[in-house]
Amino acid sequence: MTATTRDREAPRAPGELLERSLAYALGSVAEVGPGNLEQVTPCAEWDLGELLGHLYDSLDTLHEGLTGGRIGLFPPEPGAVDLACAFRTRACAVLGAWAAGPGERVVVGELPLDMRVMAAVGSVEIAVHGWDVAQACGRPRPIPVSLAGELLPVARCVVAEEDRGVRFAEPVAVPACAGPEARLLAFLGRCASRPE
């Protein structure tokens, strides 16, 4: 199977993609200890504690969309002291909200968005930041090949050139034969292997 063919595999249902991304990220967050919240992450401007706070905000936003159909423009700050525990708790709530059957649309600010798109975009963010967490903990965990292969086309659809240097780093070059994880990470400005 060629790299191009792998990119075109039929995507799974957004709920399954969300579930698999959360399962992967939960495995990474399990490595977080109380003494490593100041570790550097592949996200240049965030340490591990800040990254976990961002992940919590992302899950809180997903949960808000799934349960209320409306997402405010400014998510609340997490008040939890144990950010890893807060992430795990919110991840379970997101899964429960999806299983309960979300509506078809969510309103972001004042604009409608298909719930499946929200779930797919959230899946990219959750999985890639799960990879970032594992890297910061010094316990690298590859994103499963099938998951990375399904997330890559989503990322390519939603990350625009104007996002570069603001929300995402510039893409990193990878060989044409690189696998889905390396291509996904490179597209989002990360190297699949970080130097020590």
Could you give the number of structural domains in the chain? 1
Report how far residue 26's alpha carbon sits from residue 69's, in angstroms, rounded to the nearest whole number. 25
The answer as to whether 69 is a domain residue is: yes
**Which of 126, 137, 128, 134 minimizes the C-alpha distance to 39?**
137
- Reported as a single tens digit per residue, the pLDDT across 54-106 is 999 899 889 888 887 555 544 545 555 688 888 998 899 899 988 887 778 88
Q: Are 105 and 78 in contact (CB under 8 A)?
A: no
The answer as to whether 193 is a domain residue is: no
The answer as to whether 181 is a domain residue is: no
The answer as to whether 23 is a domain residue is: yes
- Reported as a single tens digit per residue, the pLDDT across 114-123 is 888 889 989 9
The answer as to whether 89 is a domain residue is: yes
Q: What is the pTM of this model?
A: 0.85
The answer as to whether 191 is a domain residue is: no
Length of the chain: 196
Q: Are 124 and 147 in contact (CB under 8 A)?
A: no
The answer as to whether 74 is a domain residue is: yes
CATH number, residue 63: 1.20.120.450
The answer as to whether 25 is a domain residue is: yes
Give residue 18's domain range.
11-160
Report how far residue 111's alpha carbon sits from residue 97's, in angstroms, rounded to the nearest whole number. 21
Question: Reduced to 3 states, what is the DSSP secondary structure of residue 151?
Answer: helix
Cα-to-chain-centroid distance, residue 83: 16
